[in-house]
Amino acid sequence: MKKILLASTSTLFGQEFLEYLFPEIIELFKNSKEILFIPYARPGGISLEEYSGKVKGAFKNLPFKVRGIHEFKDPKKAILEAGGIFTGGGNTFLLVDKLYRAGVMEVLKKRIQDGIPYLGTSAGTNIGGLTMQTTNDMPIVYPPAFKTLGIVPFNINPHYLDPDDTSTHKGETRETRIKEFHSINSQPVVGLREGGWLEVSGKNITLKGSQSARIFRANHAASEMPTGSSLNDLN
Amino acid sequence: MKKILLASTSTLFGQEFLEYLFPEIIELFKNSKEILFIPYARPGGISLEEYSGKVKGAFKNLPFKVRGIHEFKDPKKAILEAGGIFTGGGNTFLLVDKLYRAGVMEVLKKRIQDGIPYLGTSAGTNIGGLTMQTTNDMPIVYPPAFKTLGIVPFNINPHYLDPDDTSTHKGETRETRIKEFHSINSQPVVGLREGGWLEVSGKNITLKGSQSARIFRANHAASEMPTGSSLNDLN
């Protein structure tokens, strides 16, 4: 049975890294002795070691150990034997590129579908969707494909940001960008605001957290979905 | 002799489309009877026809005609015979994908290098750099490559946006994204603020307009370059 938590962001303003998610994380990984951390997204260009160290520090009082995937000789074997997996945020292009080049995209999908507890934040949440094509990140590397895990039957836009009516900046709003996505792609997009997350429990997908989500469908006006809603019919 | 204008944005807040650039555009295309417009970036997902119509309307009082590249049977021939070229903004992934699939990336580069007057705004400016990898756009389509025209020896980030110190949003700042770019790429990046443009005249590259630009180099702190500065040594 799938047990997944896909969060918009790792960190809320004024809080410590992952702080707001601790109760959920403890529940998600309650049967896991060791968590495998996938640091491939390398936020701000930091190293795999630095990033894993940050996560180990944040989780030091939680009842499980953390190891980075780069600490294993064989990343595929590491995923096959993991008791729980956390993919952190950063640059989605880097993350997807590395998952493909390490040859682990398929095995990661398979294990999550088989019920290994999975936590994603930001880029780690984006890859839970059908494709990474609604990321906000810069294409700093050319990945072999944009297809991702598809553990939910739609796309996700993490860190969803409402248009700022007071802004004089003429760059595209997030909503305009997603509209451009829908000019050539058909799957729905969940605009997941910071403070919100998707909880997948078996066949049920539920919006949780402090925020409503913005739902975008091709050829439909965008709509709001309050926290607590089921997304089972979104596909 | 190269004659190029690469603008951060087509439109300034409170102004009409391209309004602030009219004096420059008239000067750039003073010897052109007809301008070829490349609408492939399709902002907001509008059609090639709609986008070209918008440009024709904006230029209706200027002393040259405008035709969209999609009005020609052979897009390569259209570029070879054009008296001036304007590539408009929108989604850079769409633009680059279409330039490659139409087989015109190389011929466009060649003609600009040979001295055909070229105007780019936003996505049309981004492709003037070595690669499109410092775009702000969503990867709504998977282009055959990220390499672009390289008519300037660095990358460009159009619509460059300074960090907002009052924001509580935890998504990456533009500066963080460019830092991530430099964790695996070496070319400099010009953060071109709205209101600024690069003028290329033969071998000279000059920053023009109302704004300073922010210059990013791998392994260096970011720096400011005032308008009027030469970028001849940036590579």
Query: Domain for residue B13, yes or no?
Result: yes
Of the listed ranges A187-201, B141-155, B159-173, B178-192, the least confidently predicted one is B159-173
Q: Tell me the nearest-neighbour CA distance from A33 into chain B, angstroms.
A: 30
Region B174-197: what's the mean pLDDT? 96
Which 3-state string (H, E, C) describes chain B? Answer: CCEEEEECCCCCCCCCCCHHHHHHHHHHCCCCCEEEEECCCCHHHCCHHHHHHHHHHHCCCCCCEEEEHHHCCCHHHHHHHCCCEEECCCCHHHHHHHHHHCCCHHHHHHHHHCCCCEEEECHHHHCCCCECCCCCCCCCCCCCCCECCCCCCCEEEEEECCCCCCCCCCCCCHHHHHHHHHCCCCCCEEEEECCEEEEEECCEEEEEECCCEEEECCCCCCEEECCCCECCCCC
Which of A70, A97, A159, A182 is catalytic? The answer is A159
Query: Domain for residue A96, yes or no?
Result: yes
Query: Domain for residue A231, yes or no?
Result: no
**Which of A13, A140, A183 is facing B133, going by the closest CB pair?**
A140
Contact list, A90 vs chain B (CB under 8 Å): 180
Whole-number percent of chain A with pLDDT over 70: 100
pLDDT at B91 over 90: yes
Q: Could you confirm whether B165 is annotated as catalytic? A: no
Q: B90 — contact with chain A (CB < 8 Å)?
A: yes
Query: Domain for residue A57, yes or no?
Result: yes
Model confidence at A54, pLDDT cuts 50, 70, 90, reads very high
pLDDT at B163 over 90: no
Q: From the candidates A140, A160, A176, which should be mutated to test the interface with B, based on the most B CB atoms within 10 A? A: A140
pLDDT at A166 over 90: no
Residues 32-51 of B with CB under 8 A from A: 42-45
Say yes or no for a CB contact (<8 Å) between A139 and B159: no
> Over the stretch A123-160, which tens digit does the pLDDT of each residue have?
999 999 999 999 999 999 999 999 999 999 999 999 99
Q: B132 — contact with chain A (CB < 8 Å)?
A: yes
Say yes or no for a CB contact (<8 Å) between A172 and B145: no
Model confidence at B171, pLDDT cuts 50, 70, 90, reads confident
> Over the stretch A5-43, which tens digit does the pLDDT of each residue have?
999 999 998 899 999 999 999 999 999 999 999 999 999
> Over the stretch B196-217, which tens digit does the pLDDT of each residue have?
999 999 999 999 999 999 999 9
Q: A26 — contact with chain B (CB < 8 Å)?
A: no
Query: Domain for residue B104, yes or no?
Result: yes
Q: Please determine, for the modelled complex, whether the ipTM score is greater than 0.85.
A: yes
pLDDT at A67 over 90: yes
Whole-number percent of chain A with pLDDT over 90: 93
**Which of A10, A45, A172 is facing B183, going by the closest CB pair?**
A45
Q: Could you confirm whether A137 is annotated as catalytic? A: yes
Query: Domain for residue B188, yes or no?
Result: yes
Residues 143-162 of B with CB under 8 A from A: 145-146, 158-159, 161
Residues 6+ apart with CB under 8 A from A8: A121, A122, A125, A158, A159, A160, A192, A193, A194, A195, A196, A197, A209, A211
Beta pairing, strands B118-121 & B85-87: parallel
CA of A52: how far to CAs of A45, A58, B34, in Å? 13, 10, 57
- Domain residues for the domain of B204 are 3-225
Average pLDDT over chain A reads 96
Contact list, A194 vs chain B (CB under 8 Å): 169-171
Query: Domain for residue A193, yes or no?
Result: yes
pLDDT at A164 over 90: no
CATH number for the domain spanning A176: value is 3.40.50.880
Query: Domain for residue A235, yes or no?
Result: no
Region B87-94: what's the mean pLDDT? 97
Instruction: Provide the sign of the torsion angle of the four alpha carbons A197, A199, A204, A210, taken in this order.
Output: negative
Model confidence at B20, pLDDT cuts 50, 70, 90, reads very high
Model confidence at B164, pLDDT cuts 50, 70, 90, reads confident
Q: What is the pLDDT of residue B166?
A: 83
Number of domains composing chain A: 1
Contact list, B13 vs chain A (CB under 8 Å): 168-170
Residue with tokens 């089921």, as numbered in its chain: A230
Beta-carbon pairs below 8 A across chains A and B = 135
pLDDT at A168 over 90: no
Say yes or no for a CB contact (<8 Å) between A178 and B11: no
Say yes or no for a CB contact (<8 Å) between B159 and A169: yes
Which of B70, B97, B159, B182 is catalytic? The answer is B159
Residues 186-215 of A with CB under 8 A from B: 194
Q: Could you confirm whether A114 is annotated as catalytic? A: no
> Over the stretch B95-130, which tens digit does the pLDDT of each residue have?
999 999 999 999 999 999 999 999 999 999 999 999
The residue of chain A with its CA nearest to that of B162 is A169
Q: What is the pLDDT of residue A167?
A: 85
Q: From the candidates B49, B121, B172, B216, which should be mutated to test the interface with A, based on the most A CB atoms within 10 A? A: B172
